[in-house]
Amino acid sequence: MLSPKQGTVYFPIVWHAHQPVGNFPWVIENAYQKAYLPLLQTISKYPEIKSSLHISGSLLLWLQDNHPEYLEQIVTLHNQKQIEIIGGGFYEPILAVIPDRDKERQIQLMVDWWEENYKISPKGLWLAERVWVPNLPPILKNMRVEFTFIDDYLFQMAGLSEQQTYYAYMTEDQGDPITIFPINEKIRYLVPWRDSKETIQYLMKGCDEFHEKIIVMISDMEKMGVWPAGDRTTYDICYVDGYNGTPWMNSFFEEVISNPWIKPILISDYLKEHHPRGLIYLPTSSYDKMAIWALPSPLRKRLEKLYKSINENEIEPKLAKDIKTFAKGSIWHNFLIKYSQANIMHKRMLHCRAKVRSTEKSLPELSPDQFKRIWEKIFISQSNDTYWHGLFGGIYYRFLRHSTHKHIILAEYLLDRLRSKEGLDQFMGSIQDVLLDGQLDGILENKYVSCYISSLFGGSIFALNLKKHGYNFLNVLTRQKEPYQSTKMQSVQDRFEKWSFQDHFLLTEVLEDSLQNDTYNDLGNFANKIYKISQNPDQSLTLMRRGVISLENRSIHTKISKQFRLQNTKLLIEYDINFSEALELGKLVFSPEINLVGASYPHKTSGIINGTQFDMEKSLTCSKCHTIEIRDLNEGVLIILNFDQSLDCVVFPLLSILKSEIGFEELYQGTSIFPKIGISGKKVHFVIEMLLKSIESTSKE
């Protein structure tokens, strides 16, 4: 055993706890009983153990409402100098992808919450998902943040050896410095998966005769209780019988205490005695796996295969080391490219806040308190969980996407009410680049509904919102194949965005299965293609494209013009299609694909065709269809599609296969509707009506 005379290593233990906004209460309660509570109880038994603790704002609010005694115990341990509180963005946003003003306000919200409730002032900052960008220091300095934590993966990307990551460092931007601590990756993978002695053995590598080195352990609290671990959970490992009959957490703390050369310490106490080692500049990134997850699926699969070859010693050691040093993944921002629904939520949030900022400038006499509830909704919508996918469900969980959409839409609704009260005009239709993709988008809006149309992706609708309910009927995830899906799984890679009114020309006998599996032949070049957008004097929008249909070795020049008009809670879509030659009836059908979300929560939805309920988990073809209705019973809303003619429709569920902490899941993402409109002659004209309503108002009628 080492002795303090031979050296010491400082060992801060940092715990992070978070629950997504919109998560189910029983899920959070289970995490409380199996992870949060037993961990704090164990910490309380070992006063020699020092812990830094970060709890996200959404979880703090839940604890305040459901287990205030837990927070009181944290405060007691804080006052005894055993626990240090770490701040962060209140609703756990990825700071790198929100405006600087929002970064500061999210950080300040966390500081204010602790100061106002418990007179505690956090000095450090937790970066959500440890996403670092080099221009953060001025923001952190302005918010009086003294330190933050970044994965040692980034320090090694900057050229440091493993031994060199056993120090604090200083970084800066524009002359504003911040102290940064490397998060040790090796310990992260040892805890709690290996015997606690292995962590102690690793710490010996940092034992320093000059008493300066510091190895930072950071772990999710949920990992220490609710994660699966083979035929048991980490609760069994950490608090029941561990690996040898002793609860792992007790064994771990006792090992730390019994080795006097290990110095448990609070970060702020370490900084009172030690200065950062020197200056360093880190690249934009996150932890190693996040960087890989952010890659497009084919590239992610290739890189994971390469790393697997390294781990299985299939690559020569020196080359393997070079590969691990230089072969990195992508940056977090690319999740917004990988998943179009993530980009929709992000850009809708930015667009909404731009309207709020514009209103603030128009009403300078109003106090910030009058905008408080609106900004709160925007800040909640910035919670990171729904914007990405890695090991856990993330964006695949439609109830999390629903929560994000809901808060953006309710911010719009509250802003409308404020503008009306103050005598400002209602936001109406406009044309602007909402998605920031270089192409114009159309907006139709009144006090009831907002509708967003992309000119880049087929002149299709990517958001259709019933404002008062905070409900987006187009919260549908485009399916894609993830690297972890095997060839035996019936996973689908959609060619086109699963937005509404993507325009297809199909053979009349197109099969139901080919539509559901996306193996059909689209004879036109309209879906996902660029449309010309224009605004009409009555505020309606027209999307137009000239394209070609390939039929029987002929190229038929075709013009599609579709007009979108909003009337209260009704959206009218009027199509005019012209062909360069007359087409024979029965050869071809036109299908304006419509994709709608069925529910915000599982098993709370129903679909009705022509007055008869249908099973939304099964595909079907209905003839002489004139009305399709989808209800969300949990949220109390419905949407009714009315066709101006009876026609055949193929209706099927959109299902995604994902891998989560509980294994593989097949999740409903929405309902896809392919109306089949017969073509005859040189022109086609038809109208589709989409009526958005509350179930309460329907029952009264």
Residue 700 has pLDDT above 50, yes or no: no
Q: Residues 146, 220, 236, 254: which is the catalytic one?
A: 220
- Binned at pLDDT 50, 70 and 90, residue 37 comes out as very high
Strand 124-126 to strand 83-88: parallel, antiparallel, or no bridges (unpaired)? parallel
- What does the alpha-carbon distance between residue 163 and residue 179 come to, in Å, rounded to a whole number? 18
In a domain, residue 410? The reply is no
Of 227, 261, 294, the one marking the end of a domain is 294
Give the residue-averaged pLDDT of 280-301: 94
Give the residue-averaged pLDDT of 523-546: 97
Res 324: pLDDT: 81
Q: Which of 70, 74, 69 is CA-nearest to residue 84?
A: 74
Q: Is-contact 574 587, C-beta < 8 A?
A: no
- What does the alpha-carbon distance between residue 194 and residue 461 come to, in Å, rounded to a whole number? 50
Distances in whole angstroms, Cα of residue 89 to Cα of each of 360, 380, 635: 23, 11, 29
- 3-class SS of residue 497: coil
The two tokens of residue 609 are: 């065709």
Domain count, the chain: 2
Q: Is-contact 215 166, C-beta < 8 A?
A: yes
**Does residue 69 carry a catalytic annotation?**
no
- Binned at pLDDT 50, 70 and 90, residue 585 comes out as confident
In a domain, residue 324? The reply is no
Helices 340-362 and 398-421, interaxial angle, to 10°?
Answer: 20
Residues paired with residue 460 on neighbouring β-strands, in sequence order: 454
The two tokens of residue 302 are: 């290739």
Residue 171 has pLDDT above 90, yes or no: yes
Could you tell me the sign of the dihedral formed by the alpha carbons of 314, 315, 317, 323, in that order?
Answer: negative
The two tokens of residue 634 are: 């949990």
Res 428: pLDDT: 87
For the chain, give the number of residues.
701
Res 560: pLDDT: 98
Residue 701 has pLDDT above 80, yes or no: no
- Binned at pLDDT 50, 70 and 90, residue 52 comes out as very high
Q: Residues 92, 102, 129, 416: which is the catalytic one?
A: 129
In a domain, residue 325? The reply is no
Nearest 5°: the CA angle 473, 479, 482 is 140
Q: Which of 153, 230, 163 is CA-nearest to residue 192?
A: 230
Q: Is-contact 597 398, C-beta < 8 A?
A: yes
Of 294, 329, 356, the one marking the end of a domain is 294
Residue 699 has pLDDT above 50, yes or no: no
The two tokens of residue 394 are: 């993330």
Kindly report, residue by residue over 347-393, the tens digit of the pLDDT.
999 999 999 999 999 999 999 999 999 999 999 999 999 999 987 77
The two tokens of residue 263 are: 């110095």
Residue with tokens 């190229």: 555
Kindly report, residue by residue over 383-409, the tens digit of the pLDDT.
999 999 987 779 999 999 999 999 999
Cα dihedral value 501, 505, 507, 510, nearest 10? -20
- Binned at pLDDT 50, 70 and 90, residue 686 comes out as very high
- What does the alpha-carbon distance between residue 12 and residue 592 come to, in Å, rounded to a whole number? 58
- What does the alpha-carbon distance between residue 305 and residue 484 come to, in Å, rounded to a whole number? 11
In a domain, residue 364? The reply is no
For residue 22, the number of C-alpha atoms closer than 13 Å in the C-beta half-sphere is 23
Q: Which of 178, 170, 109 is CA-nearest to residue 140?
A: 178
Residue 1 has pLDDT above 80, yes or no: no
Give the residue-averaged pLDDT of 132-148: 97
- What does the alpha-carbon distance between residue 472 and residue 474 come to, in Å, rounded to a whole number? 5
Distances in whole angstroms, Cα of residue 27 to Cα of each of 63, 226, 617: 13, 10, 25
Res 4: pLDDT: 52
Q: Is 426 exposed, middle or buried (0-12, 13-18, 19+ CB in 10 A)?
A: exposed
Q: What is the mean pLDDT of the chain?
A: 94
DSSP states of 631-650: EETTTTEEEEEEEEEEEEEE
Structural domain of residue 613, as residue ranges? Answer: 502-700
Q: Is-contact 141 129, C-beta < 8 A?
A: no
In a domain, residue 518? The reply is yes
Q: What is the DSSP letter of 416?
A: H
Of 244, 277, 294, the one marking the end of a domain is 294
Here the CATH number for the domain that contains residue 101 is 3.20.110.20
Q: What is the DSSP letter of 436?
A: -
Q: Is-contact 2 204, C-beta < 8 A?
A: yes
Residue 243 has pLDDT above 90, yes or no: yes
Kindly report, residue by residue over 66-100, the tens digit of the pLDDT.
999 999 999 999 999 999 999 999 999 999 999 99
- What does the alpha-carbon distance between residue 412 and residue 452 come to, in Å, rounded to a whole number? 14
- What does the alpha-carbon distance between residue 312 and residue 322 come to, in Å, rounded to a whole number? 16
In a domain, residue 679? The reply is yes
Q: Could you tell me where the DSSP H helices lie in 67-213?
A: 68-79, 100-118, 137-142, 152-157, 185-190, 196-203
What is the 3 state secondary structure string of 88-105?
A: ECCCCECHHHCCHHHHHH
Q: Which of 365, 403, 364 is CA-nearest to residue 383?
A: 403
In a domain, residue 616? The reply is yes
Nearest 5°: the CA angle 174, 176, 180 is 120
The contacts found for 551-556 with CB under 8 angstroms, 24 or more apart, are 551/505, 551/523, 551/583, 551/587, 551/588, 556/580, 556/581, 556/583
Q: Which of 465, 475, 478, 498 is CA-nearest to residue 402?
A: 475
- What does the alpha-carbon distance between residue 350 and residue 335 come to, in Å, rounded to a whole number? 16
Here the CATH number for the domain that contains residue 568 is 2.70.98.10
Phi, psi of 190 (to 5 degrees): -85, -35
Give the residue-averaged pLDDT of 563-580: 97
Give the residue-averaged pLDDT of 584-594: 92
Kindly report, residue by residue over 601-659, the tens digit of the pLDDT.
555 678 889 989 888 888 999 999 999 999 998 899 999 999 999 999 999 999 998 88
Q: Terminal CA-to-CA distance of the chain, rounded, Å? A: 80
CB neighbours of 193 closer than 8 A, spacing ≥ 6?
A: 229
- Binned at pLDDT 50, 70 and 90, residue 101 comes out as very high
- What does the alpha-carbon distance between residue 234 and residue 240 come to, in Å, rounded to a whole number? 9
Give the residue-averaged pLDDT of 527-547: 97
- What does the alpha-carbon distance between residue 103 and residue 95 come to, in Å, rounded to a whole number? 6
In a domain, residue 304? The reply is no
Phi, psi of 653 (to 5 degrees): -80, 145
Residue 326 has pLDDT above 90, yes or no: no
**Does residue 422 carry a catalytic annotation?**
no
